[in-house]
Amino acid sequence: MKPLLKTLTETFAPSGYEDAIRKIVQKEVKPFADEIRVDAMGSLIVHKKPTTKSKNPRRIMLAAHMDEIGVIVSHVDKNGFVRFTNVGGVFGRYTLGARIRFLNGTTGVVGFDKLESVNDIPSMSKMYIDVGATSRKNCPVQIGDFGAFERSYMEMGNRLVAKSLDDRAGVVVLIEALKAIKSTPNDLYFVFTTQEEVGTRGAGTAAYGIDPEIGIAIDVTGTGDTPASLKMSMELGKGPCVKVRDPGMLSDPRVVEWMVNTAEKAKIPYQREVLLVGSTDARAIQITRAGVMAGALSIPCRYIHSASEMVDYEDLKNSAKLLTAMLSKPVSF
Ligand code: CO
Ligand code: ZN
């Protein structure tokens, strides 16, 4: 999984511009798919049909989002300095000193207007990107160009650090599960969604098209295991998290129980998750059409939405294992 995760996290695909990453995912999943299509919003839908008979085959949608947070050019001044706004949850405190790569290959560094006090964190409207231009004319980016954080993948023992582990960690787990499933009585749709970071847009339309009975998002979740962090119980290295609640969704209790029972039976470590900030594609799937039984399998992650997000390799492996075990057997509810 590590080489693929490196490739995925070093690819640039801010919301709405997922082409580069979709190509990589498509190549990986092709040998394991019965059907592949790309919908109008750009989500990659990989269909794996039932291989065995069961009394109660379920149509299940799995979703991991391909897009990452980024920036968009909003203004270029006469000296070639670029003003920008956020695409998704970009925080000022993580943006200072960042390097940005635009989709046309241009790179730049983030600077800021003079501060009232030396300890201030300027708002994004007081920041600019210096792309090495000297005038509006020779500026290599234009209004509406998209960029994302530039940062390489790195391993610190079992801890993996990269930009866009939200949600390339979920993407790699979903690919791994697809590859590992030998047989299944269920009708499975592995969906690599778009525009999650701007409001779970791709997952909602994909779910409308697929009309699943059960939906599960695979995404990262925040932890409470760093100094003076939010009081949350999730920790790195303690196993995949079974989402019970986040501010956008209450997981279906049947889905929670299904995950917990499967983990216990297969002796896979797991954690129960109550997340205090953020939500996932599962929210959009749950409230599609007449409603869907939904839940989420979350990967604990530190420093979410920074350019150095951190996950634990064992958690990735155990997440893929849990998902594989769940999807390989008949669903009991
Ligand atoms: Co995110
Ligand atoms: Zn995410």
Query: What is the location of CATH 3.40.630.10 in the chain?
Result: 2-68+163-327
Return the pLDDT at 87. 97
Query: Rounded distance, CA 130 to CA 106, Å?
Result: 11
Residue 31 has pLDDT above 90, yes or no: yes
CATH of 2-68+163-327, one of 2.102.10.10, 3.40.630.10, 3.40.50.300, 3.65.10.10: 3.40.630.10
The alpha carbon of 134 and the centre of ligand 1 are apart by a number of angstroms equal to 34
The alpha carbon of 163 and the centre of ligand 1 are apart by a number of angstroms equal to 11
Residue 105 has pLDDT above 90, yes or no: yes
Residue 70 has pLDDT above 90, yes or no: yes
Q: Give the ligand whose atoms come closest to the C-alpha of residue 197.
A: 1
Q: Give the ligand whose atoms come closest to the C-alpha of residue 64.
A: 2
The alpha carbon of 332 and the centre of ligand 1 are apart by a number of angstroms equal to 32
Residue 120 has pLDDT above 90, yes or no: no
Q: Mean pLDDT across the stretch 167-180?
A: 98
- Where does the chain show beta strands of DSSP type E? 35-38, 44-48, 59-65, 70-76, 81-87, 99-102, 107-112, 127-130, 146-149, 154-156, 159-162, 187-193, 214-221, 241-246, 249-250, 271-274, 293-300, 309-312
The alpha carbon of 13 and the centre of ligand 1 are apart by a number of angstroms equal to 13
Q: Give the ligand whose atoms come closest to the C-alpha of residue 169.
A: 2
Handedness of CA 205, 47, 325, 304 (dihedral sign): negative
- On whether the CB atoms of residues 283 and 22 are closer than 8 A, the answer is no
Residue 118 has pLDDT above 90, yes or no: no
**Which residue in the list 196, 197, 273, 309 is annotated as catalytic?**
196
Q: Mean pLDDT across the stretch 252-281?
A: 98
The alpha carbon of 159 and the centre of ligand 1 are apart by a number of angstroms equal to 19
Say which residues have a Cβ less than 8 Å from residue 201's Cβ, sequence separation at least 6.
41, 194, 195, 284
What residue has token string 């989002």?
A: 65
The alpha carbon of 209 and the centre of ligand 1 are apart by a number of angstroms equal to 24
The conformation of residue 302, written as its DSSP 8-state character, comes to B
CATH of 70-149, one of 2.40.30.40, 1.20.58.100, 3.40.50.300, 3.40.640.10: 2.40.30.40
Return the pLDDT at 121. 87
Q: What is the helix, strand, coil percentage profile of the chain, to 5?
A: 25, 30, 45
Return the pLDDT at 54. 87
6-20, 106-120, 181-195, range with the lowest pLDDT: 106-120
* SS3 (DSSP) at 322: helix
Q: Mean pLDDT across the stretch 299-306?
A: 98
- Comparing CA positions, the residue from 246, 239, 235, 243 lying closest to residue 302 is 235
Return the pLDDT at 259. 98
pTM to 2 decimal places: 0.97
196 is catalytic: yes
Query: What is the location of CATH 2.40.30.40 in the chain?
Result: 70-149
Mean pLDDT for the chain?
97
Q: Give the ligand whose atoms come closest to the C-alpha of residue 219.
A: 2
